[in-house]
A and B are shown apart, each in its own frame.
Chain A
């Protein structure tokens, strides 16, 4: 017993260390990319220099100075400003500082973007966008997940039926992504029929009454949800159905059938139980994934969420915002993966001892 506990702890420790290394490396890579390997610094420097020179040369207080003196003054001010921004040190040195503050979730301030309330703190900007994304994509992903789970189980029981064949036939249509269906649904339901809004979170101006507000948000959610359901429900139901069918053709299921166990019991004990771990993994990763939003879908529907924020940040090369978003995501993902690993190690003795390589 003690040896087993020791092995388990060793496994957990190893897992934590490797995860931490991966997260640190991934965040550092993001810092490098988001700063274009230091090039963004050069842009900021050039902009600072420009604005300082203009302000010195246009300031009436410095009228009496000669051009040479003005230049000198501007250069001095520029040096002070650069030092204040910390841009006088080489990028590699500063990237280490960025890494440490990112890892300690000290997300800093955005370069250009602001939250609607006017704050430049990355924390506030993300906190403002997160609810919209979570609202939309958690709804979509949860609906999709449970719909496909129940649907898949149902179809696996009656495979070969007309409904089953219909789902199999329709699943190639899932090769078309959700945002693409979104464009069509906007065309049909917004542009042509004028039943639903083109996009956005709420009507403009937003209704004052909280109930009307919620109703308006709901109205705006219909098309994005609908387009994702149409795009992905068939193929997800199809994969789940196939997955269940594969497990229900295992020998031990045949054995249980031969023993004459009732179908419900077979399903619960011999089919659902072994399929549970991959399903839980998928569920957890889907939930985490919905925190990131979907850039293209949010752009198509003009949804003011994390995906749109990513897009804006990338467009403006606002590296602090990008690094902040990636850091939060990396942490969430790493924690989830770790918890799942531990849960499986407890449930599945093979993992604990390290037998299974897969």
Chain B
């Protein structure tokens, strides 16, 4: 196709509203892909995705996207992180040095004015000592001044204290609260509730429990037994919302997966569709041009592949070899080369073959290959472009389908893999709808973009359709 014709086609396209919408969608998705590749380098994305909790330990688990607070009356908490290594976070550390034993005091003051409880509470330590580890006490001070002793512990070189799953503490707090309210709390109240709740009758049911808003403070007092000894700590009050996309069960920022899903989905879809269409066309052209045995053989090959069930064979190969997405692409192409498209294209080529200009080409002595590649294929090319664009959608969804079956790429994050994670971790049962809806929305958008464009192209390249 010449440039002129391409421009003409583009002008025609703009006449269709659906094509314009489709083009806009595709521009958005392509923009997203480019942004993803530039903003998050490949290695970093894979690291964040594979290592999960090791990288994103500071993120809340299964948190909704932050913008959900716009629509809610009860504002969900954001995550609060305070680190003695980062003074600007509000954490305070003081050491009273001495020749033998030093005292250390760490304070984490913070304000908590949200309408819902935090999802978790964790404390992390790094201590520096040669033989004798520091010994600390941890206290919790509520806005009303009440002080609660959380724990006394020895801090190892890297240590952590998961407050929200400390059963002993939970039992103690439950008893204390029951005494204060004058009635036994009838459920297993987790520490992040008892530490943040208003201490009255509302606490008797988890649904009615209310957050005591105001200034909280955690105080860590300890003894360092060596002269060179030091200790740093980080308090994470995990929220229930995170970032633009939320997080999954491994605390991973879904944004990374959503962004990186775009270039992968688009390139997988386009590569598969283009390579398959072209190889099918070449096979069909060869089959139609040579006829006889070649035709017979190639036609039998298409019947052969018609009987072979595509998805089960693909699944078996994928399971056995634990394929990366790009090897998977090669297998998909290999299994589809002799697909039903060959028969359709062959019928077109049989008509083209009889046209006078082919005869003219033969007359001047053009070889077989020259006729196939220079005269027959260019003639049919425009008619297959619409179906080529249309089939991109189906390959984008094929990748998602394989991921749903648990056969996605083991390394790269894709939209299908996010949906699969959400599905297998019961996102629908537990109400984490954002987890399914976000990747689904992008999948639908991508496939609609290609479909709208494809349908419009179909009307342009197959004018018989546009008349009716």
Contact = CB atoms under 8 A, between A and B. Distances in A.
Interface of A: 18-19, 21-23, 25-27, 29-30, 33-34, 36, 39, 159, 169, 171-177, 179-180, 183-184, 186-187, 190-192, 198, 242, 245-246, 249, 292, 295-296, 299-300, 310-311, 313-315, 317, 322, 325-326, 329-330, 333-334, 337, 357-358
Interface string B361-401: 00000000000000000000000000000100110010011
A92 B388 CA distance: 40
Contacts of B266: none
A334 B304 CA distance: 10
Given A296-B404, A326-B308, A357-B350, A33 B313 contact: yes
Contacts of B448: 172-173, 175-176
A249 B443 CA distance: 38
Interface residues on B, range: 35 or more
Contact of A176 (B18, B306, B346, B444): B444
A268 to B, nearest CB: 20
A23 B428 CA distance: 43
Given A198-B428, A242-B468, A299-B405, A314 B450 contact: no
Interface in B426-468: 428-429, 431, 433, 436-437, 440, 443-444, 447-448, 450-452, 454-455, 464-465, 467-468
- Tell me what chain B mostly uses at the interface: helix, strand, loop, or mixed: helix
Nearest to A330: B307
Given A296-B401, A329-B307, 6 more contacts: A33-B317, A295-B311, A295-B405, A314-B319, A322-B312, A326-B312
Contacts of A175: 390, 393-394, 397, 447-448, 450-451, 454
A22 B308 contact: no
A326 B401 CA distance: 21
B315 interface: yes
Nearest to B404: A296
Interface centre among A175, A249, A314, A357 (most CB of B within 10 A): A175
Contacts of B440: 180, 183-184
B94 interface: no
A314 B316 contact: yes
Contacts of B451: 172-175
Given A21-B300, A183-B436, A300-B404, A317 B465 contact: no
B303 interface: yes
A18 B302 CA distance: 12
Contacts of B346: 358
B71 interface: no
B312 A358 contact: no
B101 to A, nearest CB: 57
Contact of A358 (B316, B347, B428, B465): B347
Contacts of B309: 292, 310, 325-326, 329
Given A172-B448, A186-B428, A314-B312, A22 B300 contact: yes
A198 B393 CA distance: 27
Contacts of B452: 172
B322 to A, nearest CB: 13
A246 B466 CA distance: 11
B465 A242 contact: yes
Contacts of A326: 307-309, 312
B30 to A, nearest CB: 18
B70 interface: no
A23 B18 CA distance: 44
Contacts of B436: 183, 187
B419 interface: yes
A245 B466 CA distance: 11
B320 interface: yes
Interface string B299-341: 0100110111101110111011000000000000000000000
B423 interface: yes
29 contacts: A18-B303, A22-B300, A22-B307, A33-B317, A36-B316, A36-B320, A39-B320, A172-B452, A175-B394, A183-B419, A187-B437, A191-B433, A242-B465, A249-B467, A296-B401, A299-B404, A310-B312, A311-B315, A314-B316, A314-B319, A322-B316, A325-B309, A326-B307, A326-B308, A326-B309, A334-B307, A357-B291, A357-B350, A358-B346
Given A176-B397, A311-B405, A357-B350, A34 B316 contact: yes
B18 A172 contact: yes
Given A310-B312, A317-B320, A22 B404 contact: no
A317 B428 contact: no
A191 B304 CA distance: 43
Interface in B270-310: 291, 300, 303-304, 306-309
Interface centre among A26, A169, A337 (most CB of B within 10 A): A26
A184 B428 CA distance: 10
Interface in B233-289: none
B310 to A, nearest CB: 10
B468 A159 contact: yes
A317 B18 contact: no
Contacts of A174: 451
A183 B423 contact: yes
B324 to A, nearest CB: 18
Contacts of A27: 307
Given A159-B468, A187-B433, A295-B405, A314 B304 contact: no
Nearest to B312: A310
Contacts of B347: 358
